[in-house]
Structures are given as C-alpha cells and as structure tokens.
Structure 1
Amino acid sequence: MITPSSIFYTVAQGVLRALGATATQTNMNLLIAWMGEENGWQATFAWKNPMNTTLDMPGATSMNGAGVKAYPTWAEGFEATAKTLNNGLYPTLLSALKNSDANSFFSAEGKKELETWSGGDTSYANTIYTIYSELAPVPSAYLTAHAATSGETVPGWMQDLQKGASTLGDLLGLNNFASGFKANPTLTVIVAATVVVLLMDGMANA
C-alpha cells in the first residue's frame, strides 16, 4: 500500500479547489495517483506545478525541453493546472473529477485523454490506475465534510452542526462515529439534537 507524504494531500486539495471539485476519497486519490506518476513520491513540488503542465503564465519559467513550467506562486500553479484541464482536450477527466467518478476517469475515453496529457505514452493511464489501486485511504482531515450531490448545497447551520458533532466524537474518543458525522448530515442532525436535549434535561434537573 502506498502512503504519500502530506504535501500530496494539500496539493491535491488545491487542484480540486481550482477545479471547483469536491475533496472526496476518490478525487483525492485520483489526483494523488496522477501526481505520483508525474513527479515520483519524493516530490517537493518546488515548481508549484503538480501535474507538470506546460501552460505559460505570467512569471513562469520553462524548466525542461518539454516546456514544463515552474510557477512563482501556488495560486498560479493551481490556476494553470485548472486552465489546462479546461482547455477542451480533457472533458472526460474533468467531468470524472467533478463527479468523483473513478470508472469514468479510467474509461477508454479517460485513458485516451491521459495519453494525450502524457504526450503519447500508451502505458501512462494503466500506470496511474495501478497506483490508484494501491493508495492508502486519504486521512479524513483532508476531505470535504459532506460531498453535496448535483444541485445540492449544504446549509451553513448544518456545516456547524457537523463540526460540533465531529468535535464531540473526537472528545469522547469515538473516531469512527466522527467520520460518520462528516459523511452523513442526517446523522449529524440526529446526534446534535440528542445532545442538546440531554444537556437541557441535565440543566433542568441540576
């Protein structure tokens, strides 16, 4: 099992934010597998270019014969990555990341787009798939608390309840339950309401 260093998780989060995609287990590990193939597991991402795009940006410097750029800031590196994925050549990969869909990502169309990204390496997609299959689960701290389905938004009050319930679970040592709170908003409301009722009852009987 492959467990990458923490920088892979934080960089993957940045790419997903730039794409307007959610940091799910699937999306994070798809990007981490891709970055691992592009950079190797000892990467420090000094070029601030996680996917090794060649897109020119203000202040960018070409670092090799292929034209891979080093960017002056992470904001610019994430923007360049998002712009490259949105340039019309990678619709399947982009849709897969926005929908947290590994099957689509590694479909025939997705593999063809990965081959395009690599400059024609026919084994590139299969290598990324192998890495993806061997990656350890992403720590929950790097994941979005609740992945909203298409057209669904998570109200602020529910996000606050999720955080409170998760914190309560952590304080009580209920780590598995804490993960459940982050993933299940309905459970969050039920548990939070129960806690409030118990607290009010305790105060009334004090």
Structure 2
Amino acid sequence: MPIAPSAEYYETAVAILRTCGFRPGAENIQVLVAMEGQEHGWDGGIMSYNNPLDVEEPGFGSTETLPDSAVRKYPTPEDGLKATEATLRDGRYPVLLAGLAQNNAGLVFSPAGRAELNVWGGDSRYGDEIAAVFADLQAVPATYYLTPPVSALGPPPAGNTASALWWARLEAWMQAELHGSADAQAMHALLVTLQEQVQKLGSQVRDLEEANAALTKRLALIARVAAGG
C-alpha cells in the first residue's frame, strides 16, 4: 500500500515552499514530504523541535542541537522554516532548489539532484532513498496545491455585482490553471456549493438587518412614550 502521510506533512511542506517564495505543486510538495518522512518517520511530530528537514543552520534563535548531533532546535516554527530556506539557498543545492521552484521532481531526482540530496543527508544513498520514498507515497491531495493565489483574485468583495465579478475571476483562474481536468471539475462543484452557501448567508444577514431596523424603530417609539412624548 502507498504511504499515506498525515496532514502535518503536507502542511509543513507547503509552509516550506511558501517561505521560499515557491508556488506549491503536486511534485515539489511530494519531494519535501518524502524528505520529512525520511528524517522523522511517519508517526508525526515533525515540528517537535521546529526543524522539519533536520537542518544544521546556525542562528535563527537556535541555541542548542539534538543530542550527539549537529541538527538544530529552533524556538519557533517560523525560525525553523527560515533556517530551512537558508540551508536550501546556501549554494550547495542549486538543482534541488530549482526543482522545488519549478515543481519538477524529475530535476530533483536527476543525477545532479541526487548528488545534492546525498550532500543534504550526509549519505551516498540518501538521494536514491528519497526517490524511492517519493515513488511509494500516495498522490498529494489536490487541496494542498489547487488554491488560487489571493494576489491574483483579490479579496472577495461585498455586494452582488462585485461578488459576481470576483466569482468570474475565480472561474477564469480555474480555466487557465487547471485546463478542464478532473481536479478542475471537482473544484468547480465545490465552488458552486460554496457560492450557494454564501448566498444563503447573505439572505440571512439581510433578514437580520431588517429585523434589527424594525426593532430599533420600536425601541425608539417606546422610549418616546416613556418620556411622555
């Protein structure tokens, strides 16, 4: 059976990619999940010392290492993510970095990429081991990489006309990015359901606003009567 990591592995991989300024995709997430599992196993707790890929980067608030190891402990998840980025960008991993940036596992597992992974893991077999784990993993759930970038869409605006324009932009993004794939169809169905729920909530809010306005008028009338007006 394929390895089925918990959400923690995917969420941490996405956090690493976003810290590096890379767009999460099915392949670059899977590469990092494979590395996380290789470093920590599959029982979770990969952020127990805020170092998901077991880097040895000094600084970033780190004042201690694991026992009998150069692997650092970091005080916060943010510190650990920044230390991971610093390690990726220290000049020893240009192919690995490019593969993650381009969402290209083939580049990561090229001969040059595997050689860099061997350096990362301090073992001449590490690159082959990561490639094997990568192949054994279940497919990355689409929810971790099919999220439209907020910068492209902008925040959901208020008002019926503005909302319609926002949903249209979202549909356009889906068409451009997903090209009518099964994932796009599933996302479309989800968005239709979401839009229906938003419309229902909007209707409920309007009803509450009308009820509040009526209540305010009645309270004002009662206040005038009580004051002898």
Taking structure 2 as the reference length, the TM-score comes to: 0.66
Give the match for residue 80 of structure 1: 83
Separation in structure 1 between the aligned mates of residue 11 and residue 52 of structure 2, nearest angstrom: 11
Cα drift, residue 154 of structure 1: 3.8
1:11 aligns with 2:19: no
1:99-152 CA distance string (max 9 Å, x none): 011111001110110011112x111111111111111112222114358xxxxx
Choose from 129, 132, 135 the match for 1:130: 132
Structure with higher Rg: it is 2
Contact 2:50 2:80 in 1 (8 A): yes
1:78-102 CA distance string (max 9 Å, x none): 0000000000000000000000111
Give the match for residue 199 of structure 2: none
Give the match for residue 35 of structure 2: 34
Separation in structure 2 between the aligned mates of residue 17 and residue 67 of structure 1, nearest angstrom: 26
Residues 155/165 of structure 1: CA separation in 2 closer, same or farther (3 Å cut): closer
Count matched residues.
Answer: 171
Contact 1:90 1:113 in 2 (8 A): yes
Q: Secondary structure at the match of 2:67?
A: coil
Give the match for residue 177 of structure 1: 185
Pick the structure with more helix per residue: 2
Separation in structure 2 between the aligned mates of residue 159 and residue 21 of structure 1, nearest angstrom: 25
Give the match for residue 115 of structure 1: 118
Taking structure 1 as the reference length, the TM-score comes to: 0.73
Cα drift, residue 155 of structure 1: 4.8
The 5 Å alignment of 1:131-150 reads 131-145=133-147
Deviating above 3 A after TM superposition, structure 1's stretches of 4 or more consecutive aligned residues are 153-161, 163-166, 179-182
1:154-190 CA distance string (max 9 Å, x none): 4547787438998xxxxxxx976134689xxxxx9xx
Contact 2:60 2:82 in 1 (8 A): no
1:57-82 CA distance string (max 9 Å, x none): 24312113231011110100000000
Separation in structure 1 between the aligned mates of residue 168 and residue 49 of structure 2, nearest angstrom: 37
Separation in structure 1 between the aligned mates of residue 6 and residue 107 of structure 2, nearest angstrom: 27
1:64 aligns with 2:72: no
Separation in structure 1 between the aligned mates of residue 100 and residue 167 of structure 2, nearest angstrom: 23
Contact 2:19 2:82 in 1 (8 A): yes
**Which residue type is aligned with residue 127 of structure 1?**
E
Identify unmatched segments of 5+ residues in structure 2.
155-164, 175-181, 196-229
Say what the alpha-carbon RMSD is for the aligned residues. Answer: 3.0
Residues 159/19 of structure 1: CA separation in 2 closer, same or farther (3 Å cut): farther
Contact 2:153 2:170 in 1 (8 A): no
Identify which of structures 1 and 2 has the higher relative contact order when contacts are C-alpha pairs closer than 8 Å and 6+ apart: 1
Residues 181/112 of structure 1: CA separation in 2 closer, same or farther (3 Å cut): farther
Identity of aligned residues (%): 29
**Which residue type is aligned with residue 65 of structure 1?**
D
